[in-house]
C-alpha cells in the first residue's frame, strides 16, 4: 500500500518520488558507495599513521634525551639499560644515571605534554574557541597563587618542596570550582565560562602580585622560574605517580567522551536534540580539564604553548573529528614536549632553556608558517 501512496499525492513530481524511493533502497552493493567507504576508511588510516609516527618519535627522542648530559651514554645503550633494568638484570654502571636521574624527566615530559594537549583539545572544543587552552578557566592563576604562597611564606623551607606541589594543586582547582558554582546562578555557556575565567584570573593575579612585591629577590627568582615552567622542576620518580594517574584518567575519560564532543561541536541546541545536556557536559569537561591541568602544572610549573597549539597543529593534519583528535593530540603533545626539552638542554649546553621558552621560540614561527600554508579551512 505504501507503494503508491507517493504517486497518489498529486503535488509530488516524479523526480522527487524517485529520489525519496531511492533513499529507501539498499545501497550496500553500490559501487559508488563502496568508493565513498574506501575514501572514508583511508582517511582514518591516515589518522592512525599520524598517531603511529609520533609514537615512534616519542620512543626515539626518549633515548636521545637520555644520552644528553655530562656522562656520555650511547643511543642504543639507553634501550639496553632500560631493558636490563625492567627485567631485573642490572649490569650497567650507568643504570642509576639513566633510570634515576634522566628517565624521570623524560617520562614527566611525556605525561605533561599529553595531559596539557588533551586539556587544550577539550577546552577549545567545548568552548568553541580557537584561543582556549588549559589555562583559559584560570587554572594557571590559581596554581601560580598556590606556588607563590609556598615560596614566599616559607612553606617550602618548612615542609619541603611537596608543600609547593600540594598548595599549587589545591589552589589551581579553585577557579574551576568557582565557575562551576557560578553556572548554577547563570549558565555554562562558552562566553560565561570564558568571562568568569578572566575575572578569576585577575583576582588571583592581583593577590599574587602583592605577595611578590613583599618577596625577597631569591624567592622572586624561584617564582619567575616556576612561572616559566620547566621539566627541571621534576624531582625524580616521586613526582611521577600522581601526575601519571591523573593524566591517564584524563586521557581515558576524554577518549570515552570524544564522540560526545563532536555532537557538542554542532551547537548546544543541536546537541540537546541529540540527547546531550550541553551545559552539564561542558561543566563536566571543565572539571576534568581543571583536574588534569592542575595535576600537571603543580609539578612542572606553567608550561605554555603546548596546550594551545597542539590541537591546532593536529587538526591541520587529521581534521577536527574529536574521536581521533584526542588520542593524536595526546601523542603529539607528548612528542612536542620532549623534543623541545632536548633542544632546550643542548642548544646552550651545559646551561639549559626551559621547555616552554623553546617551544614558543621554535614552535611559534613554524606555527605561523602552517597558518599561512594551510589549504583546508580547519577553523
Partner 1 sequence: MVDIEIHDVDFGYDESHIVLHNINLEIHEPGLYCIIGPNGVGKSTMVKCVSKIISPLKGQVILDGQDVAEMTHKDVAFKVGFVPAFSQDAFSMSVINTILVGRYNHQKWGSRQKDLEMVYKTMKLMHIENLANRSYNALSAGQHQKVSIARGLVQETEVLILDEPTANLDVKYQVYVMEMLRAIAIEKNMVIMTICHDLNITSKYAHQVIMLARPGKIHAVGKPEDVLTVENIREVYGINCRVYTDEETKKPYVILGSAIMGMAEDY
Residues engaged in binding partner 1 (CB under 8 A)? 2, 5-6, 9-13, 16-17, 19-25, 27-28, 32-33, 36-37, 39-40, 43, 124-125, 128-130, 259-260, 262-263, 265-267, 269-270, 272-277, 315, 319-321, 323, 376-379
Instruction: Tell me whether residue 209 or residue 266 sits nearer to partner 1 (CB atom).
Output: 266
Question: Cβ 198 to partner 1, closest distance in Å?
Answer: 19
| Angle, CA 318 vertex, CA 314 and CA 324 arms, to 5° | 85
- Cα 199 from Cα 100, distance rounded (Å): 42
What's the burial of 175, exposed, middle or buried (CB within 10 Å: 0-12/13-18/19+)?
buried
Instruction: Tell me whether residue 59 or residue 274 sits nearer to partner 1 (CB atom).
Output: 274
Instruction: Tell me whether residue 273 or residue 347 sits nearer to partner 1 (CB atom).
Output: 273
Report which DSSP code applies to 361: I
Question: Cβ 328 to partner 1, closest distance in Å?
Answer: 14
Question: Cβ 315 to partner 1, closest distance in Å?
Answer: 6
Q: Is the dihedral of CA 334, 335, 336, 340 positive or negative?
A: positive
- Cα 340 from Cα 342, distance rounded (Å): 5
Quick check: 273 and 263 in contact, CB under 8 A?
no
Instruction: Tell me whether residue 256 or residue 369 sits nearer to partner 1 (CB atom).
Output: 256
Quick check: 328 and 310 in contact, CB under 8 A?
no
- Cα 337 from Cα 363, distance rounded (Å): 11
Distance of CA 148 to the CA centre of its chain: 24
Question: Cβ 255 to partner 1, closest distance in Å?
Answer: 8
Provide, for the chain, the percentages of residues in helix, strand and coil under a 3-state DSSP scheme, each rounded to the nearest 5.
80, 0, 20
Question: Cβ 289 to partner 1, closest distance in Å?
Answer: 16
Quick check: 152 and 213 in contact, CB under 8 A?
no
Run of H or E residues at 264: helix 240-265
Instruction: Tell me whether residue 250 or residue 354 sits nearer to partner 1 (CB atom).
Output: 250
Question: Cβ 178 to partner 1, closest distance in Å?
Answer: 24
Question: Cβ 313 to partner 1, closest distance in Å?
Answer: 13
Instruction: Tell me whether residue 21 or residue 366 sits nearer to partner 1 (CB atom).
Output: 21
Report which DSSP code applies to 187: -
Quick check: 149 and 166 in contact, CB under 8 A?
no
- Cα 198 from Cα 137, distance rounded (Å): 7
Report which DSSP code applies to 134: T
Instruction: Tell me whether residue 27 or residue 159 sits nearer to partner 1 (CB atom).
Output: 27
Question: Cβ 1 to partner 1, closest distance in Å?
Answer: 11
Radius of gyration of the chain (CA): 25
Instruction: Tell me whether residue 25 or residue 217 sits nearer to partner 1 (CB atom).
Output: 25
Instruction: Tell me whether residue 85 or residue 315 sits nearer to partner 1 (CB atom).
Output: 315
Question: Cβ 27 to partner 1, closest distance in Å?
Answer: 5
Q: Which three cell numbers stand for residue 283?
A: 561543566
- Cα 265 from Cα 86, distance rounded (Å): 43
Amino acid at each position: 500500500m505504501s507503494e503508491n501512496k507517493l504517486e497518489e499525492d498529486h503535488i509530488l513530481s516524479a523526480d522527487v518520488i524517485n529520489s525519496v524511493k531511492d533513499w529507501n533502497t539498499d545501497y550496500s552493493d553500490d559501487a559508488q558507495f563502496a568508493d565513498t567507504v574506501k575514501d572514508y576508511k583511508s582517511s582514518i588510516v591516515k589518522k592512525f599513521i599520524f598517531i603511529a609516527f609520533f609514537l615512534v618519535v616519542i620512543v626515539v627522542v626518549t633515548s636521545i634525551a637520555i644520552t644528553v648530559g655530562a656522562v656520555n651514554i650511547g643511543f642504543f645503550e639507553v634501550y639496553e639499560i632500560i631493558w636490563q633494568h625492567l627485567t631485573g638484570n642490572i649490569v650497567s654502571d650507568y643504570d642509576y644515571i639513566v633510570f634515576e636521574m634522566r628517565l624521570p624527566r623524560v617520562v614527566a615530559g611525556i605525561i605533561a605534554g599529553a595531559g596539557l594537549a588533551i586539556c587544550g583539545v577539550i577546552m577549545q572544543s567545548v568552548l568553541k574557541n580557537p584561543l582556549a587552552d588549559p589555562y583559559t578557566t584560570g587554572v594557571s592563576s590559581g596554581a601560580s597563587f598556590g606556588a607563590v604562597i609556598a615560596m614566599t611564606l616559607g612553606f617550602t623551607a618548612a615542609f619541603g618542596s611537596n608543600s609547593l606541589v600540594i598548595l599549587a594543586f589545591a589552589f589551581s582547582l579553585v577557579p574551576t570550582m568557582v565557575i562551576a558554582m557560578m553556572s548554577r546562578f547563570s549558565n555554562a555557556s562558552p562566553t560565561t565560562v570564558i568571562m568568569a575565567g578572566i575575572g578569576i584570573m585577575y583576582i588571583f593575579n592581583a593577590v599574587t602580585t602583592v605577595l611578590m612585591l613583599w618577596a625577597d629577590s631569591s624567592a622572586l627568582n624561584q617564582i619567575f622560574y616556576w612561572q616559566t615552567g620547566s621539566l627541571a622542576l621534576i624531582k625524580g620518580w616521586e613526582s611521577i605517580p600522581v601526575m601519571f594517574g591523573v593524566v591517564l584518567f584524563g586521557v581515558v575519560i576524554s577518549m570515552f567522551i570524544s564522540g560526545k564532543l563532536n555532537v557538542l561541536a554542532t551547537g548546544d541546541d543541536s546537541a540537546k536534540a541529540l540527547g546531550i545536556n550541553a551545559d552539564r557536559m561542558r561543566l563536566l569537561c571543565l572539571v576534568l580539564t581543571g583536574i588534569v591541568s592542575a595535576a600537571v602544572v603543580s609539578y612542572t610549573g606553567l608550561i605554555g604553548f603546548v596546550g594551545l597549539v597542539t590541537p591546532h597543529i593536529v587538526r591541520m593534519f587529521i581534521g577536527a573529528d574529536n574521536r581521533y583528535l584526542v588520542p593524536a593530540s595526546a601523542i603529539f603533545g607528548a612528542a612536542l614536549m620532549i623534543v623541545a626539552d632536548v633542544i632546550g638542554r643542548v642548544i646552550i649546553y651545559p646551561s639549559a632553556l626551559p621547555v616552554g621558552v623553546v617551544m614558543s621560540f621554535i614552535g611559534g614561527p613554524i606555527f605561523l608558517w602552517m597558518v599561512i600554508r594551510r589549504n583546508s579551512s580547519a577553523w
